[in-house]
Amino acid sequence: MHNMKSFKNSLPCVGVLLVIISVLLCAGLTLANICDLGFNVQATESGSSSDDGSGDDSKEDNEEESSEEEDKADMDAIRASISEKQNQIKEAENEKKKVQSDLTNVKKIVSSLKDAKQDLEYYVTQLDGNLSDVQDKITQLNGLIVEKEKDIEQSEKDLAEAERIQKDQYESMKKRIRFMYEKGNGFYLDLIFGSSTFGEMLNKADYIEQMSAYEKKKLDEFKDTCLYLDSCRQGLESDKELLEAAKAQVEAEEDNLQQLISAKEQEISNTSADISNKEAAIAEYEADIAARNAIIAALEQAIAEENRKLEESGGTARKYDGGMFQWPAPSYTRISDDYGYRIHPTLGITKFHNGVDMAAPGGSPILAAYEGEVVAADYNSSMGNYIMINHGDGLYTIYMHASALYVSKGQTVSKGDKIGAVGTTGRSTGNHLHFGVRKDGVYVSPWNYLSK
């Protein structure tokens, strides 16, 4: 049955062989003479070796099978990765175009707000919206940079592995080519005509066909590896180009952010200078602070009412356990304005500052000072983006001028949770966190709960 299958699969080779045999028979040679022509057959049949080496042969066969399985696994992974790599290249190219075309137009923003300068509150609110948008872009670009740095690291590993596989395949091909060159063109004829029977000759023809198919398979694998290697190189180059584009865009957007901050600072200063007398300027400042305090007091009153109802129904309100606070701006560079009485920077008079101003880079993290419940996460033209957290027993922390808010009202936070990003929204003239602490309805020194 096996011989019939071999015969069927070897028909092309057999046809050629029969023509050669016919020519030799016509020349007066018998089949036995043809088989004894003296061809130097180098190949040996399966089972022709002596019993003494059977153990070693079995071990070698097992090693070859294991190697074949590893090669197959490598090639399956490579073929599956080729299209994936090509898709990644396209995605990186599209991402690079998007990054490069999405630069903030500062001149257009400033021009569109020109008529709004008569109303400082409206002007600040609108400009803060643009500041937040630019800061969001910077945050997203920084996230893209981190992602691409990881992708590049993985791509370099993929490239090194592909180069290893290609080198192994190339060395293997060189060995087979050298073998065929040394055996010469007569190798296959030697193999066929070294047969003692026609069945043996068919088996060897089948073996030759398998060798030919194996060589074609290995050549195809080498081509696939070369294609994958090229894709790895292109993918790595695309990722590096995207990384550089993202870094350049971050620098450009940070410059845009600073231009918008400067425009706001200038307008706030201009408005203060336009007020006809110091008394009016002081009154405007005090009205602004009073408006802030009214918002905070209303929130505290609402919480107090909720606690009263909770206790009446047999529940337990949140309690503060007396622990020390987490430093809320870990990236701070200095205390730009401390808690207590100070000379106001623009009014030039002694005024009370109800919090600690921590100068820090825009977009750097704001952390919850202690565990509690978020009772406000909102925007106000004076406080900018702000967060208020209830820690229990009438103790609250307030975080002002954020560029972004990462929590919402009603959310429970733990000490050290990232709740926002440092910014300069609201009545602010530079990136910083205004950190305030209130106890039983009044501001108290944050230093009672913080350690420097």
Residue 337: give its domain's CATH number. 2.70.70.10
At 64 the pLDDT is 53
Q: Which domain holds residue 91?
A: 2-46+53-258
At 33 the pLDDT is 44
Query: Do 353 and 429 fall within a single domain?
Result: yes
Query: Do 304 and 204 fall within a single domain?
Result: no
Write out the E strands in 354-441: 356-359, 365-367, 372-380, 384-392, 395-402, 404-405, 412-413, 418-421, 432-439
Q: What are phi and psi of 332, to 5 degrees?
A: -65, 150
pLDDT tens, N- to C-terminus, the chain (452 residues): 444 444 444 444 444 444 444 433 443 444 444 444 433 333 333 333 444 444 455 555 555 556 566 666 666 777 777 777 778 888 888 888 777 777 777 677 766 666 655 666 777 888 888 888 888 888 888 888 999 899 899 889 888 888 888 888 888 877 877 776 666 656 666 666 676 776 777 777 777 777 777 777 777 888 888 888 888 888 888 888 888 888 888 888 888 888 888 787 777 777 665 555 566 667 777 888 888 889 999 999 999 999 999 888 888 889 999 999 999 999 998 999 999 988 776 666 778 899 999 999 988 999 999 999 999 999 988 899 999 999 999 999 999 999 999 999 999 999 999 999 999 998 887 899 999 999 999 999 999 999 76
Residue indicated by tokens 């509690």: 372
Query: Do 115 and 174 fall within a single domain?
Result: yes
Q: Which strands make up the sheet holding 418-421, listed edge to edge? A: 365-367, 418-421, 404-405
Is 268 part of any domain? no
Is 81 part of any domain? yes
Query: Do 87 and 190 fall within a single domain?
Result: yes
Is 168 part of any domain? yes
At 63 the pLDDT is 54
Query: Do 220 and 78 fall within a single domain?
Result: yes
Q: What percentage of the chain reaches a pLDDT higher than 90?
A: 27
CB atoms within 10 A of CB 241: 14
At 429 the pLDDT is 79
Query: Do 196 and 284 fall within a single domain?
Result: no
How is residue 423 annotated by DSSP? Answer: B
Could you say which of 226, 258, 290 is where a domain stops? 258
The answer to whether 203 and 5 are in contact (CB under 8 A) is: no
At 35 the pLDDT is 45
Is 204 part of any domain? yes
Long-range contacts of 190-193 (CB under 8 A, 24+ apart): 190/39, 190/40, 190/41, 190/42, 191/41, 191/42, 191/43, 192/17, 193/34, 193/35, 193/37, 193/39, 193/41
H/E/C letters for each residue in 318-353?
A: CCCCCCCCCCCCCCCCEEEECCEEEECCCCCCEEEE
At 224 the pLDDT is 84
**22 token code pair:** 């016919």
Query: Do 144 and 211 fall within a single domain?
Result: yes
At 119 the pLDDT is 67
At 346 the pLDDT is 62
Query: Do 223 and 355 fall within a single domain?
Result: no
The answer to whether 104 and 253 are in contact (CB under 8 A) is: yes
Query: Do 339 and 416 fall within a single domain?
Result: yes
Q: What are phi and psi of 393, to 5 degrees?
A: 60, 35
| CA 169 to the chain's CA centroid | 33
pLDDT in tens, 219-254: 788 888 888 888 888 888 888 888 888 888 888 888
Query: Do 203 and 289 fall within a single domain?
Result: no
Is 154 part of any domain? yes
Is 263 part of any domain? no
Is 137 part of any domain? yes
Q: Give dist(CA 23, CA 25) in Å, integer.
A: 6
Q: Give dist(CA 297, CA 293) in Å, integer.
A: 6
Query: Do 180 and 315 fall within a single domain?
Result: no
Q: How far is CA 233 from CA 226, 244, 319, in A?
A: 11, 17, 59
Residue indicated by tokens 């106001």: 344
**69 token code pair:** 């399985």
Query: No. of H helices and E strands in the chain?
Result: 9, 13
Is 271 part of any domain? no
Query: Do 204 and 330 fall within a single domain?
Result: no
At 41 the pLDDT is 35
Mean pLDDT for the chain overall: 77
* Total domains in the fold of the chain: 2
The answer to whether 165 and 74 are in contact (CB under 8 A) is: yes
